[in-house]
Amino acid sequence: MANVAVIGAQWGDEGKGKVVDWLASRADIVVRFQGGHNAGHTLVVGDQTYKLSLLPSGLVRGKLGIIGNGVVIDPEALLAEIDRVGRQGLHVTPETLRIAENAILILPLHGAIDRAREAARGAAKIGTTGRGIGPAYEDKVARRAIRVCDLAEPETLADKLDELLRHHNTLLKGLGADTFGKQALLDRLLELAPLVLPFAEPVWERLDEARRAGKRILFEGAQAVMLDVDHGTYPFVTSSNTVAATAAAGSGVGPGAVGFVLGIAKAYCTRVGSGPFPTELHDATGALLGDRGHEFGTVTGRRRRCGWFDAALVRQAVKVGGIQGLALTKLDVLDGLPELRVCVGYRIGGETLRHLPAAMRAQAAAEPVFETMEGWSESTRGARSWADLPAQAIKYVRRIEELVEAPVTLLSTSPERDDTILVKDPFED
């Protein structure tokens, strides 16, 4: 019985929430394996709309949720999210949610340094959410981070805070920002400890038992391949690895347990924040895509930049992300457009490339090479079979498959959970 890993194949915000929610009905356990509360999934279930940032999406479907060691956790944000969904009738308890005891904590000082750095960058800002995710990952690599398990050891917390404050207060002072006192931080962490620790355990052990028992595990990624700290449009990226290989390291399983890798891509392209976007549209068509697609970030609330589908970019994501099949979302947003364009490569100077280069200036200079296709006048919204789709829409999907070198295994035609065309169940061996 196969497991499934879901990752974004563009710059995030591809509609992963609906797809993960749809797949969660076939899974036993849903695992978040990287990122922090800078990512967001919106799930529409009946008359309720859940906006999740840290909680695994499967909780909405009554599945066991696990936050893996690869996630950086703001305990205040986590508890606030648990409280918020609780008011909507979704009660999260230690029986329904488990957290890796070795996951890293985000503290208030991380958000402060994040925001101070962005302010200091001025026009060259990266576009972070300012929530401290990057600085928390920095502390992890520097081996000075506070982990969930440290909440059970007051002396460990006190010693680690000394080291953290020596580092971060020096930076904050240099950036002209307010510094932090040790006692206030320590007192607050000790207050949070009894609220967080009941959820903590060595989740790798639970996942191993589930795998050996033949249970289906869904690994839920945040952000997307083109925001991967190694493979994305650096430095305009997130602070973690977003590719499917991280599902193993970020949850404590072997690489063979990850299973089928499903990449999520919109039928067009969007991006939030700064960074290169070769197919971006600054005209009425771009505005139309944004309005129809309700393109506002779940976490940031910012308007997303919109553009034509970038097949060269998604092909790159397929290769480095290990994607075996695509879930293509928001096809209905393209309804009625007389002409569609698809990027098949980039022109940089006198050279044409099939991939976006790694160098920053080269990325900024990349001009898209477009292929033009005929649009369709009929509606695709709510289609649940290939027979419901216009011939030109099918032709568009098939051309995308050819260009990205991966099959479309699932097609979404509206925000509604059941408006989905399933070509291949990712959980089937």
Strand pairing report for 217-220 and 29-32? parallel
Please count the other Cβ atoms lying within 10 Å of the Cβ belonging to residue 125. 14
Structure-token pair, residue 190: 């000790």
Residue in 379, 374, 383 with CA at minimum distance from that of residue 411 = 383
Residue in 107, 94, 128, 274 with CA at minimum distance from that of residue 201 = 94
Structure-token pair, residue 273: 């924040």
> Helix 154-174 vs helix 133-141: angle between axes, to the nearest 10 degrees?
120
Q: In sequence order, which residues have a C-beta less than 8 Å from that of residue 256 and are 6 or more positions away?
A: none
Helices (H), 280-331: 284-292, 311-321
Structure-token pair, residue 301: 């609330």
Residue in 62, 49, 60, 152 with CA at minimum distance from that of residue 105 = 152
Cα–Cα distance measured from residue 414 to residue 325, given in angstroms and rounded to the nearest whole number: 20
Cα–Cα distance measured from residue 52 to residue 80, given in angstroms and rounded to the nearest whole number: 11
CA 91, chain centre distance (Å): 24
Amino acid at 28: D
Helices (H), 16-101: 16-24, 75-87
Residue in 262, 350, 260, 366 with CA at minimum distance from that of residue 313 = 366
Helices (H), 122-258: 133-141, 154-174, 182-196, 203-212, 246-249
DSSP 37: T
State phi, psi for 323 to the nearest 5 degrees: -70, 130
Active site residues: 13, 41
Cα–Cα distance measured from residue 129 to residue 111, given in angstroms and rounded to the nearest whole number: 9
Start-to-end CA distance of the chain, whole Å, equals: 6
Is 96 in a helix, a strand, or coil? coil
